[in-house]
Chain A
Amino acid sequence: MEWAWLIPVFSFAAAPLIVVLGRVLPGSGSFLAILAIAAGFALFWWVFAGFLGAGAGTENCLVSAHTGTLTCHYQMAWFHAGLAGAAGSVALTWGIIVDPLTVAMLGLVTFVALMVQIYSLGYMRGDSRFGWYYAVHALFAAAMLTLVLADNFLLLYVAWELVGICSYLLIGFWHERPAAKEAAKKAFIVTRIGDVGMLIGILLIWREVGSFSMFDAFEAVSSGAMTEGVTTVAALLLFLGAMGKSAQFPFHVWLPDAMEGPTPVSALIHAATMVVAGVFLVARVYPIFSAYDGDALLVVAVIGLITALMASTIALVSVDLKRILAYSTISHLGLMMLSLGAFGYTAAIFHLLAHGFAKALLFLGAGSVMHGTDELDIRKMGGLRKVMPMTAFLFSLGALSLGGIPILSGFWSKDEILLAVNDHLNPAFIILALLTAFLSAMYMARAMFVTFFGNLRQEMEHAHESPASMIGPMALLGVLAAVFGFVGFNWPGSYQGIGSFLFFHEAEGFHFNWWLGILSMILAVGAFVLGYLIYIKDRVSLEGFRARIGGLIPVVENKYYFDEAYQWVVDRVVLVFANFIGLFDRIVINDLAVNGPANSVHRLGIAMRLHVTGHVYSYAMGMVLGTIALSIFWWFRSVS
């Protein structure tokens, strides 16, 4: 277990090797990245086994008083800010935590990254920057793994920014396309705004605690050294970072645009791993959020709910397959946040994992469709199951799972979330959450039916099934999307379900509320049936409904005009202000304040030179008058 730090190191080493040696290695060195992440995945199992075997007595391990879970902690010196040992200086460490949350995330990240990298072998074949793609992938995997392992805020922030830059590089991978270039920039800057909040939050905690260690921060919160006000402010600032990364309202605008990147990238970064970093962050510092009765958590819940609802409505009207999935991701991230806000820590992480597998599968499915048809507009698709049977089957599996069809994994995790919301929050929340659940099943049904079912169009007959290197990883993800939910149960024997593995504070077994379960099941199944009737059978017409809500449709189709509003702010406020400062610098500071005195000296010189006549006796007269004046001056002085 003490070798857990090696998991990211493999990939860190692979990235520069591919950049440098890519040109001479076969396959541009892609195998290096895959080997590195495969080694990480293997090591994950070893760490997992070690962790299950460890107890409170194991070296470096203890049951944390703040989270209630077994936490193993390893660190080594990194650098000293300020003279070592002097008052007010701080030693920074490379440190890792191995606790249930980390182990769960390690599993998700290494597995999905491995699947996606294998898939990319087929998907990205023949791209001119194949090696670069794998180098950034390896760097991303390394950074993401560091993020989940980090034991202090600084290292967390380091990894946090690194995954952001990898996301930037991969969204802009085909930077020759203007849309991709703009999307990459937008993604980085929008998340960066959140990161500023996060950095301020981290430094605020540092100011209060005098350390960057998360454990010290938890200690300060629980001992009351950090007062309620500061704790809440710090938690909300950290949440800003989480909002940016996890594309929460109002920072959600970057994620749909990020779909300009290669589809495997969307599957890995913008569905399964990086975007859940925000959820992970809130979960990681949950003691700070839940302190003082969780004032900050209410904000988390509200933001999560708004995001989930808003995104699911947009997903319902979007026509681009990948964007539907992107809005679906935003919506599900909102649900996770809602769950965290409702003290549903376990449920949120459970859903994070289940959603990660299923959504990665869906994106890979969308990539497979794109690979086969070069098309993403679902209006031009239909009946693709006839030409791409495996893709259709696996995509449907993922859609049903995320839609919440019973016994598939999404059903169980979503149910846990609803349960947490029902138990801890105002009834209004559960009603809206159920509405979101219904909508999410509905848009999944739409995406699935419109794309794969119905009649095959003429122009789609040339479409072909994807190669095994792409279908294989999808199939493995499909298995997990189907059965992962069963890890939630109390199995006979020592395993008490994911609830008691991940638990926060108290171990909780699997629980199930019958009326809620049945209600959500009815909603999900109902949504799929309704979708079938609307999109395939044309039995139910939407025209009446559309007519009734009339004016709202364009608002939703235009994504609530967020992009336009932000663009307006950038164009009319930020750039205008920047130009104003630029001109201010040139005209006021430079021309007026700097050149001004210079010019006035010049003009003074022109005026002054007039007294220089060139006549000897005028100079002599000046001398004489001066001497007389001085004499009089001295005379008066000697007199007085």
Chain B
Amino acid sequence: MVDLVYFQLLSAALFVIGMYGVLARRSAVLIVMSIELMLNAVNINLIAAASHLGYRSVGEAFTNFDGQIIAIFVITVAAAELGLALAIILRIYRNRGSVNVDEVDLMKW
């Protein structure tokens, strides 16, 4: 069995890449994609940990599904969120002809 730490490293790498995307990208669409990347990083982490912790000891039956359940939740919420986000982005595009977040700075005093 592959050690848990490799999954976590993968997850961390994906998360940081996603974070970089959120912070550095100008395009709203790319930001949303980066967010998805971060969510998937979390999912990997969850499932890896769950499959690792699911066995009390090696050879026993798989009893704990908490991680998988949360991961499915995350996927669901992410899908809903994506739909909403894309709708907003579409509206912004209609109004402004651009999805550059630099130009959308009305959300301040």
Chain A residues in the interface with B (C-beta under 8 A) = 609, 612-617, 620-621, 624
Contact = CB atoms under 8 A, between A and B. Distances in A.
A110 B23 CA distance: 101
B101 A617 contact: yes
A616 B108 contact: no
Nearest to B25: A617
Contacts of A614: 104-108
Contact of A615 (B22, B105, B109): B105
B19 interface: yes
Contacts of B104: 614, 616
Nearest to B104: A616
A624 B19 contact: yes
B24 interface: yes
Nearest to A623: B22
19 contacts: A609-B108, A609-B109, A612-B108, A612-B109, A614-B104, A614-B105, A614-B106, A614-B107, A614-B108, A615-B102, A615-B105, A616-B31, A616-B104, A617-B22, A617-B24, A617-B101, A620-B22, A624-B19, A624-B23
Contacts of B19: 624
Contacts of B31: 616
Contacts of A615: 101-102, 105
Interface string B1-32: 00000000000000000010011100000010
B20 to A, nearest CB: 10
Nearest to A617: B23
Contacts of B101: 615-617
Given A615-B102, A616-B104, A621 B109 contact: no
Interface residues of B, number: 13
For the complex of A and B, 5 pairs with smallest distance between CB atoms: A614-B105, A614-B108, A609-B109, A612-B108, A616-B101
Interface in B64-109: 101-102, 104-109
Contacts of B109: 609, 612
Contact of B105 (A613, A620, A624): A613
A613 B101 CA distance: 12
Contacts of A620: 22-23
Given A614-B108, A624-B23, 20 more contacts: A609-B108, A612-B108, A612-B109, A613-B105, A613-B108, A614-B104, A614-B107, A615-B101, A615-B105, A616-B31, A616-B101, A616-B104, A617-B22, A617-B23, A617-B24, A617-B101, A620-B22, A620-B23, A621-B23, A624-B19
Q: Which of B31, B101, B102, B108 has the most CB of A within 10 A?
A: B108
A450 B31 CA distance: 113
Contacts of B22: 617, 620
B98 to A, nearest CB: 14
A616 B24 CA distance: 10
Nearest to B105: A614
Contacts of A621: 23
Contacts of B23: 617, 620-621, 624
A621 B22 CA distance: 9
A609 B31 CA distance: 25
Nearest to A605: B109
A310 B58 CA distance: 119
B56 to A, nearest CB: 25
Contacts of B106: 614
A620 B107 CA distance: 13
Contacts of B107: 614, 616
Nearest to B107: A614
A617 B102 CA distance: 9
A624 B108 CA distance: 19
B19 to A, nearest CB: 6
Q: Which of A612, A617, A621 has the most CB of B within 10 A?
A: A617
A614 B102 CA distance: 9
A478 to B, nearest CB: 92
Contacts of A616: 31, 101, 104, 107
A612 B107 CA distance: 8
A130 B31 CA distance: 94
Nearest to A612: B108
Q: Which of A609, A614, A616, A620 has the most CB of B within 10 A?
A: A616
